[in-house]
Copies of this chain bind each other. A is one copy, B any other.
Amino acid sequence: MNEFKLIERYFNWACYHSVSLGVGDDCAIIDATPNTQIVTSVDTLIEGVHFPKNTSAADIAYKALAVNLSDLAAMGATPKYFTLALTLPELNEAWLSEFSDALKQLAAEYQLDLIGGDTTKGALSITINIIGEVETGKALLRSGAEVDDLIYVSNTLGDAAYAWQQIEQGGTPSDFCLERFNRPTARVGLAQALVGMANACIDLSDGLEQDLSHILKHSKVGATINIDAIPLSDPVSVYINTTQDWCIALAGGDDYELCFTVPKTYVEALKTIEKNLGIALTKIGVITKDLGLDIKGLNKTCASYQHF
């Protein structure tokens, strides 16, 4: 099968938005919505680095798109389009069909259009470039945190990292943690609800310690958080109680939850959002004038995820 038949068969879908020209020309052409800004981000997943070798095509597709959705979510943006650069060791139609079905399904959930791509031969890797829109000037940035803002995170931390650690050690993660690892939920709706409320926001991909530090650096502030306040699922809670390895939740990475800061006046409004969306929002600390990240109750330093 040549590339054109492959695209025609697996990646030429109908469009949700005003795509003047999608897959099939040199480029895609899209129409920008008035009074919005364009938001874009790119993430690559590589076999053996970001997912284990035996991961299903469906899980790979899901995660590749979800991690990009998570980046857009962190800006409070509405996802609209994406391009897919897919590198495959061989042309396996069963694999491609499963990959394409899962990708299409998640894209449909967010009304995301696949508007372009490239397929090449090589070690399995997936690069998605996602494009969204945000009302002009309303994006949630890393740079807006203010002294005395409360710091929140969504849901629980460390679940995916715990699954990954167990896989690497030859163990069997719980279904819950494995699902959190393979199928992270991008917090698109939550972030959109936080627009106009949160002063700063980031998605947790490298781990709370490193990612919150980005907010602090960009906002030129510090923070104090309480280790006991970090929200944990039952499996991770049991693991940490046994091992005292808080680093799984602080620096394990792959959470794809949001960390955001809000003025105290919004505490009640957050409770409403939490109830409406059914996503736990936990206060873990406060933004301070003193620079640096002070983690109360942690008596060691976690090694952050290093890309090299």
Contacts and interface: CB of A to CB of B under 8 A. Distances in A.
Contacts of A30: 37-38, 40
Given A2-B304, A72-B27, A134-B29, A42 B122 contact: no
A122 B120 contact: no
B87 A3 contact: no
A26 B71 contact: yes
Contacts of A46: 87, 120-122
A87 B49 CA distance: 11
B121 A123 contact: no
Interface string A35-71: 0111111111010111000000000000000000001
Interface string A79-93: 001011101101100
Nearest to A27: B41
A151 interface: no
Contacts of A262: none
Contacts of A26: 41, 71-72, 74-75, 142, 202-203
Count identical subunits in the complex: 2
A123 B120 contact: no
B88 A44 contact: no
A50 to B, nearest CB: 8
Nearest to A4: B214
Interface stretch (A125-133, A152-160, A222-230): A125-133
B90 A308 contact: yes
A122 B121 contact: no
A221 to B, nearest CB: 16
Contacts of A308: 1-3, 6, 88, 90-91, 119, 121
A21 interface: yes
Interface residues of A, number: 70
B87 A125 contact: yes
B40 A131 contact: yes
Interface in A86-139: 87-88, 90-91, 115-123, 125, 127, 129, 131-132, 134, 136, 139
11 contacts: A3-B308, A26-B71, A26-B72, A27-B77, A29-B37, A29-B134, A32-B38, A42-B127, A42-B129, A87-B125, A121-B307
Closest 9 CB pairs of A and B: A32-B32, A129-B129, A26-B74, A27-B41, A3-B307, A91-B308, A46-B122, A42-B83, A123-B123
Given A27-B139, A40-B83, A40-B131, 20 more contacts: A3-B307, A4-B214, A26-B75, A26-B202, A27-B40, A27-B71, A27-B74, A27-B75, A29-B134, A32-B36, A40-B115, A44-B85, A44-B87, A44-B118, A48-B122, A49-B122, A83-B129, A85-B127, A87-B125, A119-B308
